[in-house]
């Protein structure tokens, strides 16, 4: 990612190489949140007394926090 990242910039998702866009940039410009347009797996909430293990779901539009180089 370029040093001058702005909200709305189109970037490549670091997880799947799909298209994503910047939805947030920190005040110091060192962190950015990237929203991917593809599906990613997400762990469901922690297990309850009725289930012994966490399950994964597929969710579209995941947001990833990344360091801007």
Q: What b/e string do you get for 34-56 counting C-beta neighbours within 10 Å, with b at 16 or more? A: bbbeeebeeeeeeeeeeeeeeee
**What CA–CA distance (Å, rounded) separates 64 from 2?**
17
pLDDT of residue 2: 46
pLDDT of residue 43: 73
Q: Tens digits of per-residue pLDDT, 10-69?
A: 999 888 888 999 999 999 989 999 999 998 887 766 666 666 666 777 888 889 999 987
User: Would you list the domain boundaries of the chain?
Assistant: 10-67
pLDDT of residue 47: 64
Read off the pTM: 0.72
| H-run or E-run covering 10 | strand 10-12
């Amino acid at each position: 990612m370029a040093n001058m990242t702005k909200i709305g910039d189109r970037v490549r998702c670091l997880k799947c190489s799909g298209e994503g866009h910047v939805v947030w940039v920190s005040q110091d410009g060192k962190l950015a949140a990237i929203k991917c347009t593809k599906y990613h797996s997400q762990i469901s909430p922690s297990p309850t007394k009725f289930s012994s293990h966490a399950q994964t779901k597929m969710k579209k539009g995941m947001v990833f926090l990344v360091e801007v180089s």
